[in-house]
Structure 1
Amino acid sequence: MIKKTSKMIMAFTAILLALTACSPSLNNRDPNSGVTNSGESNNAAQPQSSYLKRDVREDVFYFVMPDRFNNGDVSNDSGAPKGSISHGGLDTTSKWAFHGGDMAGIEQKLDYLKSMGITAIWMTPILRNKAVQKGGFAHHGYWIVDFTEIDPHFGSNADLKRLIDTAHKKDIKVFFDIITNHTADVIKYEECHNADGSFKSGLDRCAYRSLQEVKEQGTYRAFVPKKEQGEKFPEWLNDPRYYHNQGDSTFEGENSLYGDFNGLDDIDTEDPEVVKGMIDIYTKLISEFKPDGFRIDTVRHVQLPFWQAFSPAIMAHAKAEGIENFHVFGEVYDPNPEALSSFTTEGKLPAVLDFGFQSAVGGVFFEDKPVSTIETLIAQDHLYNDEDSNVDQLLTFLGNHDMGRPGFFLNKHLPNASNEEKLQRSMLAHAMMFFSRGVPVVYYGDEQGFTGDGNDVDAREDMMPSKVASYNDNTLLGTEQTTKNDNFNPQHPLYKSIAEYAAIRKQQPLLQYGVQENKFFDDKKQVFAFARVANDTMPNGGVAQQNDEALLVVFNVSAEQQTVTVSQQYESYLVVSGAAKISASDNGETQITLPAFSFGLFSSK
């Protein structure tokens, strides 16, 4: 049952959109459907503020891997000149290698993104990498050797500045993906490696030395092979004493904090000099490039005191540079809200990626788990509340470059579902992401129905025409095309749906700022509802001043039409779309009927 909230008092005369997941474009509504122009609504937003003034809660993110997006300059495809640590790795037929995407390529597609409603771009790391190590390739950008310049595979510092400048002119923010936990694999250990850096006979890794073992026998004896000495920038990063040097992590227990990830050099972030050095690196990047925020990699593998110093310093510097709404969010790969929230409360990060949301929503929409899974998640939202942040600032997502895509999850967990059902479920899950609390993140390619074969490199397909056989044999959602084709189609049903959801979200401040309250969850019918209600964090005036309104969002995640009954606590519920039917009775109840795999978005009086 829906209980009345004290702030929902005044009569609400505005419009609210009630739409199915497969509803047509906002600009192509049937004039006889009863749809009222959303511009007439008291809840209609003013034009979105410029990027510098815009709160992150008003943003829609696009997470893109530059190498796999669009090749705007073929001259940089091989990276640095031959002989450099940042040279090579190009092989457009290999899913592991570089494919040629770059800053120029992203710049060329800004209008494609803007038309979809994207207001912020988050790129995987773009700083200079060790291009090839252990037979792998740094197409992802996470093997940094130089923290002062862009990787030559992606262009030059000037190219990056031009992209940011062009994006800002279009009111699109640009976020950097940064790393403090490790650098590329340059440091070797005398106990495990030969002088040239290769493993000694019989070894393929260096066993982790625990803190107790370090007390007894010390860390490994670290050295850098001659051919890679002095390759890191700033210069202090070349000194092995600023690293843990305890061997390879197994990603469990203490070694997840002190061990080397697959041989990557694990930085000693407990050292005060390292803390100062990392703050210096990233404040200089802010001053030079003026990004709008950072996503921080591998946050849970660095101890909390580091974040308590690093995050406030970064935020203060950004403000001093005139970037008032600079936002920082960390990657804490854990679906448990208690673990996630510890980094925003005790750890002082403004936000984290909401792996709890991905787990719960993905479970319901992609695996057909009970809808009450979402109820359990939202009931824990209070864990994120503190003096300077709350759950609304988390970034929500459905898949990513590590775990895989919605299309992959659907193929894996619902293999017997039709392609049409999978498309409907993906659309519906995206609607949930846009209408729920948090800041939505679209993973590149999902808007074109990409599916992928799994996680990691199997979820990193090319948007530009691909030559990777294992990508090109995939069946995409909502299209007959494959990744062999150019996939920047604004007519794709997922692209159009996402654009529509973004437009609705922009028009409804409560979807950006409103508190989310659980209303009802019926596991038998696979129907659930929540409300977005006004709260004290909503800015005064402008786009987000709606203090006495509420939105009701209802989802039907079943293959059958469903009817649910809710208590009628308002004079009426206003509907725009003809897809969802709502009716009030004399006994104080309201009936809502939803088609299969659909949602309804309602205003209340």
Structure 2
Amino acid sequence: LDFIRIEPRFCDNPAAALADPEVADTEFRQLINEIHAQGIYVILDIVLNHAANVFNYEGATDTAEWRDNPEYGIFWRDETGQARGEWKDIGSITNPPSNGVVWPKELQRNDFFRRKGEDGTRGDFTGMKELVTDYLIPGTAVYPVRNLLITAYQYLIAKFDLDGYRIDTLQYVEPAFARVFGNAMREYALSIGKKNFFTFGEVWQDDDESRIAEFVGRNTENHDHFVGVDAAIDFPMKKRLEAVCKGFKAPLELSTHFDYRLETLRKIVSSHGDAGRHYVTFLDNHDQDYRFHNPAFPEQTKMALTCMMCMQGIPSVYYGTEQALSGAGNNREFAREALWGRPDAFNQEADLYKFLQDLSVFRASEPALRYGRQYFRHCSENGGAFKNSSLPGGVIAFSRVLNNREVVLVANTSVSQPVIVDILVDKNLHDEGMQWEKLFPFPRTGPLPDLSSTQGDLRTIRVRLNAMQFFVIAQRD
């Protein structure tokens, strides 16, 4: 309902917060201060595309089928959520309630809302009412709705000392607005001394990297001067990493899409290593119908988390993963299990909790995993031809290279078969007969039994893996 007010229902005393917004503001500021004191950044989930279900359509319906023209008649909602038959034009409502209609008051114009229903790709978003972010004042270059949203979110940065925004449903706003918004947040944050304000958006595309690239970074094919949001949520790699680590798809699916991504990013990034800054990687989130974790195959979860943490990207772990939550069903509530109220809900001795702790420490210790170039490596499984694994249950193999350091991840996705695999490595970085070691998982167990070797013109390292086993390895110093 309100783009600049903290929702009073989330406060310790909702009635007091409803009566006095400063109660909510003070509580939220205190929370952020305590989070910052622990060395944690605060990223707020925001929306540009729509407001809440702030009005009803003619015919007393929450939703309506899309129509181009004319706009539907609407009835604004009061503080109880009821649509009022006499509230057809928000501008004519006398003393609108502070917890009804829409706020701030600058948004209180009917023509700032689309009012054309929805069809799945245009208009409202499942009942939440679309803003007209492409509203242009005739004869000017002024977009009033965009400017209001930019000002509102800059205000929140200043008031609460926020560190970033996750932008919901970003793909439904105009790419030009996404670029302007990202640039405006970045410049405002810099102007008040915040040097690393981070924006990333939900561009839900499972396959289309070109569509994602419209919103992220600086696309050299566009002629404006703005750099878009910093990153996009990485749906393409989520789709493929899940299918490959569970043995449903071949590792070739990962490597092929990665090559496609790099080709798309040639217009955006200045170097191969920069690519990782533009994607927030994940395995599951609140918009899925199920969680990745399957208690019958816990090693798959560890394998996928390790792949995610070692791949290019900014890794994001969904809450509850560390406690092995495993909800699955036919709607999103199955992936929204609550830890609160469960016995021993935040168990710091839980197996996945300790594993993620180790994995985070390991990633932080290896600059190549955060900044390095990435190459999917051809490998030979049990003496076969060198290639990316083309069958489900095959081997994932990729390198991260930073300066003269190469770190290799190798994972056997088969749930039943061990494998001996020879992996191509960079011949310029590794001489024949060099010793390699396992870096992760902990504990480190010393050198691998095989040395780097030469096969024709190729330099390789041999790794032996059991079913669902994975190693991160590097040449021993």
TM range (shorter): 0.7 to 0.9
Give the aligned residue type for 2:300: R
Shift of 1:166: 1.6
Residues 101-159 of structure 1: CA deviation (Å, up to 9, x unaligned): xxxxxxxxxxxxxxxxxxxxxxxxxxxxxxxxxxxxxxxxxxxx012221123222222
How many residues are treated as equivalent by the alignment?
Answer: 399
Q: CA RMSD in A?
A: 2.2
Give the aligned residue type for 1:450: L
Q: Distance in 1 between matches of 2:350 and 2:446?
A: 21
Corresponding residue of 2:325: 450
Given candidates 430, 433, 436, the residue that maps to 1:574 is: 436
Residues 205-248 of structure 1: CA deviation (Å, up to 9, x unaligned): 422112xxx2xxx212334256666332210222211011111x
Q: Distance in 1 between matches of 2:462 and 2:33?
A: 51
Q: Higher mean Cα deviation, 167-176 or 388-397?
A: 388-397
Shift of 1:391: 3.4
| 1:266 pairs with 2:127 | no
Given candidates 460, 466, 480, the residue that maps to 2:336 is: 460
Given candidates 270, 279, 290, the residue that maps to 2:150 is: 279
Residues 53-104 of structure 1: CA deviation (Å, up to 9, x unaligned): xxxxxxxxxxxxxxxxxxxxxxxxxxxxxxxxxxxxxxxxxxxxxxxxxxxx
Q: Distance in 2 between matches of 1:309 and 1:370?
A: 39
Given candidates 352, 356, 361, the residue that maps to 1:498 is: 356
Q: Higher mean Cα deviation, 438-447 or 571-580?
A: 571-580
Q: 1:151 to 1:582 in 2, by over 3 A?
A: farther
Q: Higher mean Cα deviation, 365-374 or 236-245?
A: 365-374
Give the aligned residue type for 1:333: W
Give the aligned residue type for 1:435: C
| 1:562 pairs with 2:447 | no
For the 8 Å contact 1:580–1:595, the answer to whether it is kept is no
Q: Distance in 2 between matches of 1:334 and 1:586?
A: 41
Residues 443-498 of structure 1: CA deviation (Å, up to 9, x unaligned): 01111111113341221111112xxxxxxxxxxxxxxxxxx424101111111111
Normalising by structure 1, we get a TM-score of 0.62
Give the aligned residue type for 2:145: V
| 1:341 pairs with 2:208 | no
| 1:219 pairs with 2:51 | no
4+ residue segments displaced more than 6 Å? none
Q: Distance in 2 between matches of 1:208 and 1:582?
A: 65
Q: Distance in 2 between matches of 1:186 and 1:343?
A: 28
Corresponding residue of 1:183: 51
Given candidates 276, 286, 311, the residue that maps to 1:401 is: 286
Corresponding residue of 2:408: 552
| 1:604 pairs with 2:475 | yes
Give the aligned residue type for 1:434: M
Shift of 1:162: 1.6
For the 8 Å contact 1:431–1:501, the answer to whether it is kept is yes
Give the aligned residue type for 1:365: C
Q: Higher mean Cα deviation, 363-372 or 441-450?
A: 363-372
Corresponding residue of 2:236: 356
For the 8 Å contact 2:133–2:146, the answer to whether it is kept is yes
Shift of 1:341: 2.0
Q: Distance in 2 between matches of 1:496 and 1:404?
A: 26
Residues 569-602 of structure 1: CA deviation (Å, up to 9, x unaligned): 3132431433994412764543211222122112
Pairs within 5 Å for 1:292-311: 292-311=163-182
Equivalent residue of 2:325, what SS? coil
Q: Distance in 2 between matches of 1:282 and 1:445?
A: 29
Q: Higher mean Cα deviation, 394-403 or 167-176?
A: 167-176
Equivalent residue of 2:338, what SS? coil
Give the aligned residue type for 2:399: A
RCO comparison, higher one (Cα < 8 Å, 6+): 1
Give the aligned residue type for 1:159: E
Q: Distance in 1 between matches of 2:464 and 2:190?
A: 49
Residues 10-65 of structure 1: CA deviation (Å, up to 9, x unaligned): xxxxxxxxxxxxxxxxxxxxxxxxxxxxxxxxxxxxxxxxxxxxxxxxxxxxxxxx
Q: Distance in 1 between matches of 2:247 and 2:420?
A: 22
Q: Distance in 1 between matches of 2:315 and 2:78?
A: 46
Corresponding residue of 1:173: 41
For the 8 Å contact 2:276–2:314, the answer to whether it is kept is no
Corresponding residue of 1:55: none
| 1:162 pairs with 2:33 | no
Pairs within 5 Å for 1:384-463: 384-385=265-266, 386=268, 390-407=275-292, 410=294, 419-420=295-296, 422-454=297-329, 455-463=331-339
| Uncovered stretches (5+) of structure 1, i.e. residues with no partner | 1-144, 411-418, 466-483, 535-546
Corresponding residue of 2:85: none
| 1:526 pairs with 2:383 | no
| 1:488 pairs with 2:364 | no
Equivalent residue of 2:9, what SS? coil
Give the aligned residue type for 2:318: Y
Q: Distance in 2 between matches of 1:438 and 1:492?
A: 26
Give the aligned residue type for 1:219: E
Q: Higher mean Cα deviation, 270-279 or 228-237?
A: 228-237
| 1:370 pairs with 2:250 | yes
For the 8 Å contact 2:436–2:452, the answer to whether it is kept is no
Q: Distance in 2 between matches of 1:387 and 1:372?
A: 24
Q: 1:226 to 1:355 in 2, by over 3 A?
A: closer
Shift of 1:308: 2.4
Give the aligned residue type for 2:45: D
Q: Distance in 2 between matches of 1:585 and 1:241?
A: 68
Q: 1:435 to 1:372 in 2, by over 3 A?
A: same
Corresponding residue of 1:593: 464
Shift of 1:567: 4.4
Residues 288-329 of structure 1: CA deviation (Å, up to 9, x unaligned): 011111000001111112112211111100111211011100
Q: Distance in 1 between matches of 2:317 and 2:357?
A: 11
